Amino acid sequence: MAKDNQFVSQIADIENDFPQWYSDVVLKTKLVDYGPVKGTMVIRPYGYAIWENIQKELDARFKETGHENAYFPLLIPMSFMTKEAEHVEGFAPEVAVVTHAGGEKLAEPLCIRPTSETIIGTMYGKWIQSYRDLPVLMNQWANVMRWEKTTRPFLRTSEFLWQEGHTVHASEEEAMEETLKMLSVYEEFAKTCLAMPVLTGRKTEKEKFAGAVATFGMEAMMHDGKSLQAGTTHYLGQNFSKAFDIQFSDKDGALKYAYTTSWGVSTRLIGAIIMTHGDQRGLVLPPVVAPVQVVIVPIASKKPGVLEACAALKDRLKRAGIRVTLDDSDNSPGWKFNEWEMKGVPVRIELGPRDLEAGKMLCARRDNFEKTEVSLENAEEEVKALLSNVQTGMYEKAKERMESRIVKADSLQELLSGVNGGNFVRAGWCGCRACEDKVKEFAQATSRVFAKEDTQETCVACGKKSAHTVIFARAY
């Protein structure tokens, strides 16, 4: 029995030591390991398979909305980074710089991209000549580097994987429409693929992307009540067009600066999945992105015909498009149950002599541990329906938790009590930077996004008339 319970006992208590629980889970499920350079991570096959499924789902959505994939260089001349003043100031502390190559000092230092607006803007300035060249709708899947001082796998590492969309438009209206459209694409993806409810909206000037006119964010509530910025879209106006000479001849013959956008999500989404759905037994993975959707565990595997029946069932499910594995190792069933529960596999099938005799199999859901007997004859349809129910159930559970933990505050003390209780807090804000700073100093909370409706009448920090209702939270 001790062996069967070893996985749970090796994980820190999720309620009393959430940071250690997170570290235990990502390491013990072999999602990642720490890289030899401080702040880096090695994404192991199980973790990378989640990223591949995220890529697959998002890439299809990007292409459905008219975007094409391209790839731009990792190294950026230092002079490019200094062309847009706010941008360089915002990223300066995080930029890694290459000064030597081939045994010689470089004539100009090269930045390892923290983001690609500058290099992509340079190329767009070269490619775009006429209104007929617009819009440009490109995306790249790439790695970036930001020299972080405090790191945690997936959530904040010096190097990470992401996608970054970069588009160019003839008008402000088109560019803003693109910015909001991609925010809605991210929101729909989070709901239907990650089973993760999010709050979306515009960010304050303090929280916006360096060089943007406006930034819109997607915020998700983690198990401990903190917010995780799961994705952002940026309306860049003409800031980068003017810096990188992205001009076009319009239909009237006038030479005009274009309007640009950028938007991205990263491997941080894997951290979001872990901290949104995980429990004391480990990972709980949404079926859409789970590397393994179903695990088959033979019962009394030495009995005649059991392993053969399990293998046949695996082949049937695989042909039906289900990601399935058969655990035919010599570990005990209890050991296997704990291992696959820890790995977050959405559905476990138990199949033994009695099940075969009855023409049934026992299915256990990872999200709520419910067990149901299912006909072997209709295994494909039944399992697909079960996976769909798990996906929906995970979203509804997370949504209910988030909605129940959004509270309002009319004073700094109420805001502090709210975030101390692991909540998101709706509060009024006058629009003054000093009041936003005061909230952070008093409650260690930051503005996440503007609320959909301005319901608060007074600023939580100064008591004056409120200009906006803002969602405040402690954040990763």
Concatenated DSSP letters of 347-402: EEEEE-HHHHHHTEEEEEETTT--EEEEESTTHHHHHHHHHHHHHHHHHHHHHHHH
pTM: 0.95
User: In terms of domains, do 89 and 148 share one?
Assistant: yes
Tell me how crowded residue 96 is: count the other CB atoms within 10 A of its CB.
14
Within a domain: 333? yes
Find where tokens 């319009």 sit.
250
User: In terms of domains, do 88 and 221 share one?
Assistant: yes
Asked if residue 9 has pLDDT above 60, the reply is no
Within a domain: 401? no
CATH number at residue 427: 3.30.110.30
Per-residue confidence band for 1, with pLDDT thresholds at 50, 70 and 90: very low
Question: What is the spatial distance between Cα 276 and Cα 416, in angstroms, rounded to a whole number?
Answer: 23
Question: What's the pLDDT at 87?
Answer: 77
Asked if residue 246 has pLDDT above 60, the reply is yes
CB 272 within 8 A of CB 220: yes
CATH number at residue 219: 3.30.930.10
Asked if residue 7 has pLDDT above 70, the reply is no
Per-residue confidence band for 297, with pLDDT thresholds at 50, 70 and 90: very high
User: In terms of domains, do 185 and 310 share one?
Assistant: no
Q: What is the pLDDT of residues 249-264, one digit of tens each?
A: 999 999 999 999 999 9
Strands 424-429 and 406-409: parallel
Within a domain: 2? no
CA separation (Å) from 250 to 131, 246, 253? 5, 13, 5
Q: What is the pLDDT of residues 422-453, one digit of tens each?
A: 999 999 999 999 999 999 999 999 999 999 99
User: In terms of domains, do 428 and 455 share one?
Assistant: yes
Within a domain: 65? yes
Average pLDDT of the chain to the nearest whole number = 95
Within a domain: 186? yes
Total domain count, the chain: 3
User: In terms of domains, do 317 and 436 share one?
Assistant: no
Per-residue confidence band for 149, with pLDDT thresholds at 50, 70 and 90: confident
User: In terms of domains, do 38 and 172 share one?
Assistant: yes
User: In terms of domains, do 172 and 201 share one?
Assistant: yes
Q: What is the pLDDT of residues 31-82, one digit of tens each?
A: 999 999 999 999 999 999 999 999 999 999 999 999 999 999 999 999 998 8
Of the candidates 277, 304, 326, which is a domain's last residue?
277
Tokens representing 242 are 């003017």
Q: What is the pLDDT of residues 82-94, one digit of tens each?
A: 887 777 787 888 8
Please choose, from the candidates 210, 212, 201, the residue with its C-alpha nearest in 3D space to the C-alpha of residue 260.
212
User: In terms of domains, do 35 and 118 share one?
Assistant: yes
Compute, in degrees rounded to 10, the torsion defined by CA atoms 285, 290, 292, 293. 70
Of the candidates 243, 277, 311, which is a domain's last residue?
277
Within a domain: 229? yes
Per-residue confidence band for 5, with pLDDT thresholds at 50, 70 and 90: very low
- Average pLDDT of span 156-180: 98
Question: What's the pLDDT at 2?
Answer: 39
User: In terms of domains, do 367 and 462 share one?
Assistant: no
User: In terms of domains, do 255 and 327 share one?
Assistant: no
* Domain interval for residue 419: 406-473
User: In terms of domains, do 314 and 452 share one?
Assistant: no
Within a domain: 399? no
